[in-house]
Structure 1
Amino acid sequence: MTNLATNLVRTAERLPDRTAIRLDAVEVSYADLLRRAQAVAGSLRAAGVQPGDRVSLILPNVPAYPVAFFGALLAGAVVVPMNPLLKAGEIDYYFTDSGASLAFVWPDFEAEARAGASGTGTTIVVCDAMGPVAGQLPDAEPLTTVTDRDDEDDCLILYTSGTTGRPKGAELTHRNIHLNALRCVETITEMTDADVVMGCLPLFHVFGLTVGLQAAVIAGATLTLIPRFDAAKAMEVIDRDGVTIMMGVPTMYAAILNHPEHDTLSAATLRLCCSGGAAMPHEVQRGFEQAFGCIILEGYGLSETSPVASFNLPDRERKSGTIGVQIPGCEMRIVDEQGNPLGPGEVGEIAICGDNVMKGYWNKPEATAAAIPDGWFRTGDLATVDEDGYYTIVDRKKDMILRGGMNVYPREVEEALYSHPDVVEAAVVAVPDPVLGEEIGAAIALRPGATATVEDVRQHVKDRIAAYKYPRHVWRVDELPKTATGKILRREVKAPSDVTGA
């Protein structure tokens, strides 16, 4: 394996007429996807893009995304996926830091992209649903040969969310992405060319890009796209297109389950659901599986691990509430502050090594050394492992609340909140307290027509967990802040001003 784009070439040769990408009435075969990508590659080369140059994608989930993505790879470029909702100042940072020479941009985001590129010299190429708009790139012969790249050459630079400062670009190699996608096909989903995969995860995010697009291309499956997640649209697409595999984050499954018309979804073809990106609440998992007769396998990964590191696997016992076992090619362990391995049941940080771990952070050797001090990537996630090798996330290391000297893990409190029938979203955060240092606070969103009060919810949780853990401060919100993938952003949850110490 060299260039990741080789997977597209192989599948187009094997299954030229199989639908690769679908967006409502638009269907793109594997042969057509390759032809369009080769045309983009030829034009990029004519525009001066050389192997190793960085090319950004600021696009929603439309066919133009895989066209531009594989076109850039065929030309030997390094792809820099970007969230389309970034503003000019953020775009300037990404362009400057990555040194992106060119960016494919959706028309709705053109103004911000051009403003962001004004000081970087990055060429903006506007795309329609199928690829670059005519005249945006030089006319050139299609590039029909795959530009040779080494396994360890950068394939992607994926920027982390920047919870501890400016975002850092994780350098993921062609080998990283290929092997991780292959393991998803062979070990987790058992995907074949008969499958239809729900493409509701954003392709600029590593989960959607690797586990969705790249896995589908390797298997020869169809990826049916939703540009922006909406529960009603997702239900429509599942039944209309005969979706067999859904990839999502917990809030997506919760949104479908809590949709007032969810009982109209037959989901007759749905055989497997995969969840990642955040902890899956037990009540959401149980409710979804009962409603639609399809199991949800929960896993775990990060941008820096391509992303998948562990999963509940279809041929092994599924332990609900865990993130499963390490996948082939990946080693995981629980370590203490000094990096010493801990035993079963002990809480420590997850450390990972293997062929899924990034090469490093782009142009940040000190950050790389801090993250991978001894060949093991420090995730910042606290967890335990049992005797069978199943890992259970306790919480993010930085999200742990220290209440009067006692450790409180937000996820445990959130599980208790989700067990209340009226709670549809919950986030537990620290609230400053003059005596205890930190107190437990919880923001909750209730289902439409809910009769429960904040006090009802607080009492419900108080009855289920230790006294020092239950949230003294609970407040209602219409909905919680989320990332583009639907992951709840605890760090943006703020207690209202009338909460003590807020």
Structure 2
Amino acid sequence: MTVGYLPWNRPAPAANRPCLRDERNELTYAEVGQRVAAFAEELAERGLGPGDVLGIMLPNRVELLIGLLAAWRVGAAVTPVNPAFTENEAGYQLRDSGARLVLNGGPDAPSAGLPAIHVDEMRRAARGNPPEREIRPDELALLVYTSGSTGRPKGVMLDHANLDAMVSAMAEHFRATDADHCLLVLPLFHVNAICVSFLTMMLSGGQLTVLERFDPKSFLAAVERYRPTYFSAVPTIYARLAELPGEFAADTSSLRFAVCGAAPVSRELLEHCESRFGFAMVEGYGLTEGTCASACNPVDGVRKLGTVGPALPGQRIATISPEGDHLPAGAVGEVVIQGANVMRGYLNRPEETATTLAGGWLRTGDVGRIDEDGYLTLVDRLKDMIIRGGENVYPKEIESVLHGHPGVLEAAVVGVPHAVYGEVPVACVVPYPDAVVTVEELLERCRADLTKIKLPVEIHLLDALPKNPVGKIDKPTLRKALHGR
């Protein structure tokens, strides 16, 4: 098996075709190959090689992708770090991943004390003979961090075989060709952007235009300027596009389709965007542990709004009962997944890996039903995770920060509905008797240790939290109480 999404392996006639661009760069396939070779040479000189990990902490830009490819070329894996992370958050990920080196934006960027390369100082031209080696499918490619019920982020281990299975399925499902052009707007520290936008285009011989951030008007201006054929986004982005004044028009005729995923979306929003902007909307579903996506409505075929579509090529999706029995069509149960896309496991967490991959299936923690045609409808989440604008926010992580205040006895964080972001976190805190605790103190503590997107939009100081019969905090009751405020 060969790894097909490496841009320097394209046939010679494709060498001068457009490959990657952003506001600073516009590179052909040949130029990408040269830049990757030069930085791979620099990484090798720094001692990075097979089995090592490179941390990359950058906003969306071409150099992030050059760094990713260069690490793979020398046999290393990459852990992509959210560039908005605090020293606390970034330091944990870099230490836990075992990163040896960091590619970041400068001396003030968090690096956990590791040696770092400034993005503007990356080597752009090889000085000798850059390392040449075959990239094996079983080599670790990505360590993408995602949190679980414990609130401690876990490194999801994805090898090149996982990525190849995922990207091949995407290319087949979307019927991608070298005529396609993706406009990337989602953050590149997620597998969605890496797989759906970047690697699918590299496998297909298409091109990728990288936007650093999203703004509704500038995004549509970029669609007019670059003429992409598709993009992938989260419901919050579509909500902000839908909010534009009715008189605001843009030429979106180049777009074959747009993908919506990462969070629940209403049928009304999908219909509104499709009607207003004229591109087909396909909703999908997946987990980082499944290398991004496992189900998606077809671009050409039956699209069932309200469902996340059938299983992608090469994957199986089923629902199971609490006892682990497989359920018939129409029955509601936990969604489980099989396929070559399923992760190798969690880094250094064998027990959690065994639980999540029990019985040879990926246990998603989501509840859904599959109809007679194989289309999956998501019903609920087993986990307490909050999805804020497509970003996963884990209550336990926020609760741990709140519990760090010496005056806090109990803390519970739940998601409440929000018109734009879908859900936002709200915290309820019970102080110790006679302790002096203020909302501003708690917010200041959160601001110091948490990214902005994880900050509670409200903190309520309460005398007590609702409890269930076994003494655990009753979050469903808490949510209902907050929804009624």
Q: 1:171 matched to which residue of 2?
A: 157
Matches within 5 A, 1:36-435: 36-107=35-106, 110-114=107-111, 117-118=112-113, 122-128=114-120, 132-133=121-122, 140-143=127-130, 145=132, 147-162=133-148, 164-187=150-173, 189-260=174-245, 263-399=248-384
Return the alpha-carbon distance in structure 2 between the equivalents of residues 367 and 391 of structure 1: 26
Q: Does structure 1 retain, via aligned residues, the 8 Å contact 2:54–2:77?
A: yes
Return the alpha-carbon distance in structure 2 between the equivalents of residues 42 and 248 of structure 1: 35
> SS at 2:189's partner residue?
coil
Q: Give 1:219 deviation, angstroms.
A: 1.1
Q: Does structure 2 retain, via aligned residues, the 8 Å contact 1:113–1:124?
A: no
Gaps of 5+ in 2: 396-411, 422-452, 463-477
Q: 1:457 matched to which residue of 2?
A: none
Q: Give 1:7 deviation, angstroms.
A: 2.5
Return the alpha-carbon distance in structure 2 between the equivalents of residues 291 and 155 of structure 1: 39
Return the alpha-carbon distance in structure 1 between the equivalents of residues 89 and 345 of structure 2: 22
> SS at 2:108's partner residue?
helix
Q: Does structure 1 retain, via aligned residues, the 8 Å contact 2:239–2:420?
A: no
Q: What TM-score comes out, normalization by structure 1 length?
A: 0.76
Q: Does structure 1 retain, via aligned residues, the 8 Å contact 2:35–2:125?
A: no
Q: Which deviations, in whole Å up to 9, do the C-alpha atoms of 1:200-243 show, x marking residues without a partner?
A: 01111100001110001111111111111111221110011012
Q: 2:432 matched to which residue of 1?
A: none
Q: Give 1:138 deviation, angstroms.
A: 12
Match of 1:220, as an amino acid?
G
Return the alpha-carbon distance in structure 1 between the equivalents of residues 233 and 382 of structure 2: 24
> SS at 1:34's partner residue?
helix
Return the alpha-carbon distance in structure 2 between the equivalents of residues 163 and 256 of structure 1: 33
> SS at 1:384's partner residue?
strand
Return the alpha-carbon distance in structure 1 between the equivalents of residues 138 and 122 of structure 2: 33
Q: Give 1:153 deviation, angstroms.
A: 2.2
Q: Which deviations, in whole Å up to 9, do the C-alpha atoms of 1:162-196 show, x marking residues without a partner?
A: 45421111111101101211111122x21222222
Q: Give 1:342 deviation, angstroms.
A: 1.4
Return the alpha-carbon distance in structure 1 between the equivalents of residues 415 and 288 of structure 2: 29
> SS at 1:94's partner residue?
helix
Return the alpha-carbon distance in structure 2 between the equivalents of residues 349 and 493 of structure 1: 31
Q: Give 1:26 deviation, angstroms.
A: 3.0
Q: 2:424 matched to which residue of 1?
A: none
Q: Does structure 1 retain, via aligned residues, the 8 Å contact 2:103–2:119?
A: yes
> SS at 2:305's partner residue?
coil
Q: 2:468 matched to which residue of 1?
A: none
Return the alpha-carbon distance in structure 2 between the equivalents of residues 90 and 210 of structure 1: 24
Q: Give 1:61 deviation, angstroms.
A: 1.1
Q: Give 1:10 deviation, angstroms.
A: 2.2
Q: Does structure 2 retain, via aligned residues, the 8 Å contact 1:2–1:175?
A: no
Q: Which deviations, in whole Å up to 9, do the C-alpha atoms of 1:229-266 show, x marking residues without a partner?
A: 11122111001101210111111111112123773212
Return the alpha-carbon distance in structure 2 between the equivalents of residues 176 and 36 of structure 1: 25
1:262–1:59 Cα change, 3 Å: farther
Q: Give 1:101 deviation, angstroms.
A: 0.5
> SS at 1:141's partner residue?
coil
Return the alpha-carbon distance in structure 1 between the equivalents of residues 222 and 247 of structure 2: 13
Residues 1:27 and 2:26 aligned together: yes
Q: Give 1:399 deviation, angstroms.
A: 4.1
Match of 2:33, as an amino acid?
L
1:43–1:280 Cα change, 3 Å: same
Equivalences, count: 416
Q: Give 1:379 deviation, angstroms.
A: 0.5
Gaps of 5+ in 1: 401-409, 415-426, 430-437, 448-487
1:270–1:138 Cα change, 3 Å: closer
Return the alpha-carbon distance in structure 2 between the equivalents of residues 127 and 269 of structure 1: 33
Return the alpha-carbon distance in structure 2 between the equivalents of residues 172 and 332 of structure 1: 20
Q: What TM-score comes out, normalization by structure 2 length?
A: 0.79
